[in-house]
Copies of this chain bind each other. A is one copy, B any other.
């Protein structure tokens, strides 16, 4: 354990980086995938099960938690770690993305965002200062600067105006973080700028000017498509410092993760493994499996008979199909578990491939096998 936030790269393979983030709450092996614990729970999973899959860090959502149960309440109950029975690192987002996409009647000004809760319609005001205060109340180990997630599509002018606002908010976020945060916690800045190269570069440079212990790429996986996302990473990543972790927010599919690690990304979060799990869709190295499909009703084989994960090994596809068709809670539980396990196994395989400097071969083999069954 350390008493402050550090990051070091231990190996590279092409642009892919193998590293380690140290925090007082524990070490995060990178590239890392963070399961999403939206409302202080990774949906359908016990925290110890999430941990057993190999997850070093979870993501919590500021927007959801500020509305329910409320940041002050979580703080008075001992913080988010204690509240949700997870003693490893937690990253919280800033609330910016969800405010834009979930809340009603939002109004953006220089000061921040006024919005109405999607739960009960009550009014809230979220600013860079309040977002950082909330994240401090939650007690997360990595906190995100408050930004506006630029919608897609956006004209160059819209993307520029939005990015510039986010950069001013980034500075205010860092100042507020300095006021509210505890030792060992870190704040990441978020690069915006849509799919426009010169805006992304300006954004990255503005954030480096402010100086953050980590940098995220935001505003992607919002409809632009995988190639545009990869292109944006290609021209953005060279402008981020090599000695700081890089986090691609809200991404993605297994193929997205492999392509992004290949481009030097260190951290990811996505609801996909658990959301797909609740819909009976399992991820495997041989591609996606829609367990609802009638072809599995008599299939005695598990998702992976050699897996170290009970959900993948100990239940036949026929049983999982039955549970999905019957709308049983255990369907969501087992398939979410299997998917989080798969995502962690994929990250672990990528980390090993980087250590052994064979990431390009790994990526090529993974793509071929994953897509073969389609």
Contact = CB atoms under 8 A, between A and B. Distances in A.
A330 B44 contact: yes
A77 interface: yes
A68 B323 CA distance: 10
Nearest to A85: B314
A314 B85 CA distance: 7
A45 B298 contact: no
Given A326-B68, A329-B332, A73 B297 contact: yes
Interface stretch (A35-43, A281-289, A342-350): A35-43
B330 A46 contact: yes
A329 B274 CA distance: 11
Contact of A333 (B298, B328, B333): B333
A7 interface: no
Interface string A289-332: 00000000110100000000010001110110011011011101
25 contacts: A39-B322, A40-B319, A41-B323, A41-B329, A41-B330, A43-B329, A43-B330, A44-B329, A44-B330, A46-B310, A46-B330, A46-B333, A46-B334, A69-B322, A73-B297, A73-B318, A76-B298, A77-B298, A77-B300, A83-B316, A83-B318, A83-B319, A85-B314, A329-B329, A333-B333
Interface of A: 39-41, 43-46, 48, 68-69, 73, 76-78, 83-85, 278, 297-298, 300, 310, 314-316, 318-319, 322-323, 325-326, 328-330, 332-334
Given A40-B322, A73-B298, A77-B298, 7 more contacts: A43-B329, A46-B334, A68-B326, A69-B297, A69-B318, A76-B298, A83-B318
